[in-house]
């Protein structure tokens, strides 16, 4: 069981008084009934609802939050605040929105504030980086927590000694991936495509265009373009397949060390096929095809993973 799911099952057990094993049995039965069309976490929510449990007034840890949850309460530390953005509402009024990045001892999440009273707390400096906040009645949209006018936001006295601010990748099957998930997938490379090359500006890392043999950055003008590569592969973990995009820095993890030598490149692509690897990344929707794709941040060999597990035990 992965950590997130395990915590939810324990929580359901604690509130309902039903044994963990029995809850897991019910979750599996629910999934079987729905022909696996629902994720373990989703099935857990259905089972919880059937047991009459609502997480409504429960204070949850960030790790326990699931897409679709409503009336979410939590306490967390503000790590970072984005600049306040304004936009025109449908009525033609000016609306404001701001993102808070918060963390607790289990994970971190983006909170999106839409209410002008809440945003006022940031404007007047009451809520700033490093303070603790208490949130009530938020709603989960994908992997973000949204606060509207019915939500509450206030300062909390809770002190967090240590918070998890690093990216948290949850172990998932490809079938269960949702847009914007940060996930760790264990799967086989079943197809790899020709690497593609492009050039970026050395200052801002944005893509540059080639004009008369020069590289031109829209911001920095003529620059010395840096050659970068990207590779598309198809990953299969037995539950589903997904197209993955690995950019330059993730390529060595896939065994691509020499991108200039054509023969080496062919060999490296052949070696990759059928290989089982751990992929860490982010699910995004491909704008062109409107299909999910996995943006690879890091690749690890499965052996290394086993080694770490051994060390932990």
Residues forming contacts to Zn ion in the complex (CB under 5 A) are 201, 203-204, 217, 219-220
Q: Which is nearer to Zn ion, 129 or 203 (CB)?
A: 203
Q: Which is nearer to Zn ion, 220 or 284 (CB)?
A: 220
Q: Which is nearer to Zn ion, 224 or 307 (CB)?
A: 224
Q: Which is nearer to Zn ion, 32 or 204 (CB)?
A: 204
Q: Which is nearer to Zn ion, 226 or 300 (CB)?
A: 226
Q: Smallest distance from the beta carbon of 210 to Zn ion, in angstroms? A: 14
Residue 43, exposed/middle/buried by CB under 10 A (0-12, 13-18, 19+)?
Answer: buried
Q: Which is nearer to Zn ion, 219 or 303 (CB)?
A: 219
Give the residue closest to Zn ion by C-beta. Answer: 201
Neighbours of 191 (CB within 10 A): 13
E-strand ranges in 116-156 read 132-141, 144-147, 152-156
3-state secondary structure of 96: strand
Q: Which of 182, 236, 165 is nearest to 2 (CA)?
A: 182
Q: Contact 110/147 with Cβ under 8 angstroms?
A: no
Q: Smallest distance from the beta carbon of 222 to Zn ion, in angstroms? A: 10
Q: Smallest distance from the beta carbon of 228 to Zn ion, in angstroms? A: 14
Q: Smallest distance from the beta carbon of 221 to Zn ion, in angstroms? A: 8
Q: Smallest distance from the beta carbon of 199 to Zn ion, in angstroms? A: 11
Q: Contact 18/77 with Cβ under 8 angstroms?
A: no
Angular region, 220: left φ>0, alpha ψ -120 to 50, beta rest: alpha
Q: Which of 293, 60, 291 is nearest to 181 (CA)?
A: 293
Q: Smallest distance from the beta carbon of 296 to Zn ion, in angstroms? A: 24
Q: Contact 82/99 with Cβ under 8 angstroms?
A: yes
3-state secondary structure of 175: helix
């Amino acid at each position: 069981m992965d950590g997130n799911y395990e915590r939810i099952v324990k929580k359901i057990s604690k509130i309902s008084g039903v044994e963990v094993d029995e809850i897991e049995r019910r979750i599996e039965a629910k999934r079987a009934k729905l022909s696996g069309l629902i994720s373990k976490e989703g099935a857990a929510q259905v089972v919880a609802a059937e047991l009459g449990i609502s997480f409504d007034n429960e204070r949850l840890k960030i790790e326990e939050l699931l897409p679709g949850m409503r009336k979410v309460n939590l306490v967390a530390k503000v790590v970072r605040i984005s600049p306040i953005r304004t936009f025109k509402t449908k009525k033609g009024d000016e609306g404001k929105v701001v993102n808070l990045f918060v963390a607790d001892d289990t994970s971190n999440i983006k909170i999106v504030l839409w209410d002008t009273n809440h945003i006022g707390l940031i404007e007047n400096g009451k809520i700033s980086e490093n303070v603790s906040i208490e949130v009530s009645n938020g709603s989960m949209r994908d992997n973000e927590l949204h606060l509207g006018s019915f939500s509450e936001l206030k300062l909390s006295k809770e002190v967090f000694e240590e918070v998890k601010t690093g990216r948290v990748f949850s172990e998932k099957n490809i079938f269960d991936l949702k847009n914007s998930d940060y996930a760790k997938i264990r799967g086989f490379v079943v197809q790899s495509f020709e690497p593609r090359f492009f050039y970026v500006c050395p200052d801002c890392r944005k893509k540059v265009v080639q004009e008369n043999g020069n590289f031109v950055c829209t911001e920095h003008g003529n620059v010395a373009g840096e050659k970068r590569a990207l590779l598309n592969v198809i990953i299969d973990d037995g539950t589903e397949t997904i197209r993955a995009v690995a950019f330059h820095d993730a390529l060595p993890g896939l065994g691509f060390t020499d991108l200039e030598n054509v023969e080496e490149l062919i060999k490296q692509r052949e070696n990759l096929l059928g290989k089982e690897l751990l992929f860490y990344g982010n699910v995004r929707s491909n704008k062109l095809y409107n299909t999910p794709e996995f943006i690879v941040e890091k690749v690890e060999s499965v052996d290394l993973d086993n080694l770490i597990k051994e060390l932990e035990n």
